[in-house]
């Protein structure tokens, strides 16, 4: 059966690729986790970034980091469980080259925000740096979770 | 008109959509695929059987919370064939 062959026109090929894109796009949109979970995950991550920026030795903000990390882990695990209940198992580790590239870029962005949020306060004396870093990283994470709930970055097939 | 040859197992509209859905995830439950495609159980079963016979998908039945669930996933051969198929379509478009 695998060896059955046929021919198609350029127009048919374009229409087929468009339908594949549409199917993936619809699926990604319908596979989205509840907004409340997206908000809780993002807020937990913001708490980690903010606490890291404010931590001085073992002051109270160190506790904020621990609480943020624990709640982030719990909410992330709960979102995976929610996916499973919905009948979806997502790829946690990236498979495609596009996803690896995109995740490395995102990782770099998160790392830069995390480091600069603290460095600007400690060395430059800019007190609101952790606030801004927490806001940006939380917002960016919420955007990624909303736009790419399965972690797959949809690249248009037709170019 | 550009002409090309490719695998008809994947090219059938419903089967192509099944592969597209499965390519976005690790595994999907039978009911989710049926809802996404808006087809009946029998139609979906028929298409999955064709894909399973070609060793493109794997079906695993599990009982979770006293409920029977059928999880469907693309095999590595199926994933590779789907990518090759899309590559072939892109090549036709040029």
Which carries the bigger pLDDT value, residue B88 or residue A95? B88
User: B4 pLDDT exceeds 90?
Assistant: no
Predicted ipTM > 0.90: no
Angle between helices B13-23 and A10-30 (to 10 degrees): 50
Mean pLDDT of B51-71: 90
Tokens of residue B59, six digits: 């079906």
Residue labelled with tokens 């095999």: B75
Mean pLDDT of B43-55: 95
CB-based contacts of A98, cutoff 8 Å, min separation 6:
A153, A155
Domain presence at residue B90: no
Q: Which residues 13-72 of B are in CB contact (within 8 Å) with A? A: 13, 16-17, 20-21, 23-29, 31-32, 36, 50, 53-54, 69, 71
User: A23 pLDDT exceeds 50?
Assistant: yes
Chain A: give the shortest CA distance to residue B53, in Å. 9
Quick one: which H or E segment has residue B47? helix B41-53
* Number of domains chain B is built from: 1
Range of the domain at B27: 8-82
Q: Structure pTM?
A: 0.81
Chain B: give the shortest CA distance to residue A34, in Å. 17
Residue A57 confidence (pLDDT): 78
Alpha carbon distance A115, A133 (integer Å):
9
Alpha carbon distance A61, A129 (integer Å):
15
Please say whether the beta carbons of A112 and A137 come within 8 A: no
Domain presence at residue B89: no
Domain presence at residue B76: yes
The whole-chain average pLDDT of chain A stands at 87
User: B71 pLDDT exceeds 60?
Assistant: yes
> What is the SS3 assignment for A148?
coil
Residue labelled with tokens 């982030």: A72
- For B8-23, write each residue's pLDDT tens digit: 888 888 999 999 999 8
Residue A9 confidence (pLDDT): 82
Nearest CB among A1, A31, A152 relative to B9 is that of A1
Domain presence at residue B88: no
Domain presence at residue B23: yes
C-alpha distances in angstroms, B48 versus A86, B2, B5, B56, B57?
Answer: 20, 30, 23, 9, 7
Query: Strand B57-64's sheet: what is its strand order?
Result: A88-89, B27-29, B67-74, B57-64
CATH number for the domain including B55? Answer: 1.10.10.10
Domain presence at residue B71: yes
The CB density around residue A13, as the number of other CB atoms within 10 Å, is: 23
């Amino acid at each position: 059966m695998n060896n059955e062959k046929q021919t198609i026109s350029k127009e048919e090929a374009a229409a087929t690729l468009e339908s594949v894109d549409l199917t993936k796009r619809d699926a990604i949109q319908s596979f989205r986790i509840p907004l409340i979970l997206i908000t809780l995950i993002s807020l937990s991550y913001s708490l980690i970034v903010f606490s890291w920026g404010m931590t001085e030795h073992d002051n109270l903000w160190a506790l904020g980091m621990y609480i943020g990390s624990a709640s982030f882990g719990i909410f992330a695990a709960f979102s995976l469980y929610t996916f499973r209940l919905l009948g979806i198992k997502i790829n946690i580790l990236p498979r495609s080259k596009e996803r690896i590239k995109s995740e490395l870029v995102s990782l770099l962005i998160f790392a830069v925000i995390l480091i600069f949020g603290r460095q600007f306060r400690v060395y430059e004396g800019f007190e609101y740096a952790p606030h801004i870093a927490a806001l940006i990283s939380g917002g960016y994470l919420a955007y990624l979770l909303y736009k790419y709930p399965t972690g797959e970055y949809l690249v248009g097939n037709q170019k | 008109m550009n002409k090309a040859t490719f695998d008809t197992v994947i090219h059938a509209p419903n089967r192509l959509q099944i592969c597209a859905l499965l390519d976005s995830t690790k595994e999907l439950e039978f009911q989710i695929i049926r809802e996404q495609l808006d087809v009946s159980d029998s139609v979906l079963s028929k298409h999955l059987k064709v894909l399973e016979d070609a060793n493109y998908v794997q079906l695993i039945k599990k009982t979770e919370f006293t409920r029977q669930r059928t999880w469907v996933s693309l095999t590595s051969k199926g994933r590779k064939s789907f990518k090759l198929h899309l590559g072939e379509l892109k090549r036709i478009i040029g």
